[in-house]
Structure 1
């Protein structure tokens, strides 16, 4: 790689890291592209547009970068699920949630990324993999979709979509809050016990998955 390309790659990475830090610690809507450029060490406010195009391009780059790390961890869980280690509902909850938790534990910027996804989840249906048009796209692993299909066998399609929506939304918000509580609350608080709360989250998602179809839930 030529020196200019190396410099461009480093600049792009610094801008991406600055955006993750600012978006994750504050909010996407409260941070300007100019502010990110300055935090990334660029005096030229157009540097960010040069590397990412616009805010959606920047958010897509953030998702692509961090989702790849989560996906690598998730693959190991897919293999365990494929071996029959867990029944369908537990396989879904563990394959969805545990790779995110492990990524946050292993990466300093992981929690900021989860906070960003929590924000996107309120306005971007692409987070849920339900086929809605979205400015920012998220990975949709076929193996995870197959696990959802197996776990939700027999449920009406509308209720499957509703449950996926609620599960994914709850998971990202809960993980963000679990890690925040473990860092901010006194160690003796039950809510500071990250491991216990993660297990409670897994149990909650599992219970929701195995709940029978709700009669009248599709009625207007």
Structure 2
């Protein structure tokens, strides 16, 4: 017998969290998601979400506000630091996603999915997905990062490249850590969460402030 209607949507979201994290948001089978959610109706995804894109947006909404609120708190703290304190701004990128990744399997899967999406142009996924990603924050964070990078006098293309690479590096690092919770032990000792955050902030800050390449 199918799950009662009030539970169906969340069961589908949970199944999608696992499937998108394991196989990617574009490759995961909607039919398999439906089956894993215990639904016999093959149109359940389209009934509840309208499309794959609608389901992706619903998955992103699970922790978007958690990340967004925490990021704003950390940005406000960073604004009270000296103007040359770049690490406090980088922390606003690292800490919220790491905290969500520690929230059990749902948080781990969520970060793997966000880590995939930040590395691609999400415009084709539609306004719902764009809006859900926007709720995780980012605009104020990157504006403050650019302000703190001004003394380095980087040209815009180089600054954009560094910010993009550092964002991908941070998200991949957190996503890999999150994914390791679902895999057999690798033999490498995993850092405690707080030390992981501090180390990742230090590494990302060093990447942003590395010497500029020569123009040659």
TM-score, with structure 2 as normaliser: 0.80
Q: Does 1:63 align with 2:57?
A: no
Choose the corresponding residue for 1:113, options 110, 118, 142: 110
Q: 1:201 to 1:191 in 2, by over 3 A?
A: farther
Per the alignment, residue 199 of structure 1 pairs with 198
Cα offsets for 1:165-210 (capped at 9, x unmatched): 1111111111122344477437xx6542244343222111010122
Counterparts of 1:77 and 1:175, CA distance in 2 = 18
Choose the corresponding residue for 1:103, options 100, 104, 115: 100
Counterparts of 1:110 and 1:86, CA distance in 2 = 33
Conserved 8 A contact 1:24-1:115? yes
Q: 1:8 to 1:159 in 2, by over 3 A?
A: farther
RMSD between superposed Cα atoms in Å: 2.5
Q: CA deviation at 1:158?
A: 0.8
Q: 1:141 to 1:180 in 2, by over 3 A?
A: closer
Correspondences of 1:16-35 after superposition (within 5 Å)? 16-35=13-32
Conserved 8 A contact 1:181-1:191? no
Counterparts of 2:23 and 2:142, CA distance in 1 = 32
Correspondences of 1:9-48 after superposition (within 5 Å)? 10-48=7-45
Q: Which has the higher contact order (CA 8 A, sep 6+)?
A: 2
TM-score, with structure 1 as normaliser: 0.79
Q: CA deviation at 1:9?
A: 5.0
Correspondences of 1:205-216 after superposition (within 5 Å)? 205-216=204-215
Instruction: Give aligned pairs, total.
Output: 202
Q: CA deviation at 1:19?
A: 0.2
Counterparts of 2:10 and 2:84, CA distance in 1 = 41
Q: 1:179 to 1:194 in 2, by over 3 A?
A: farther
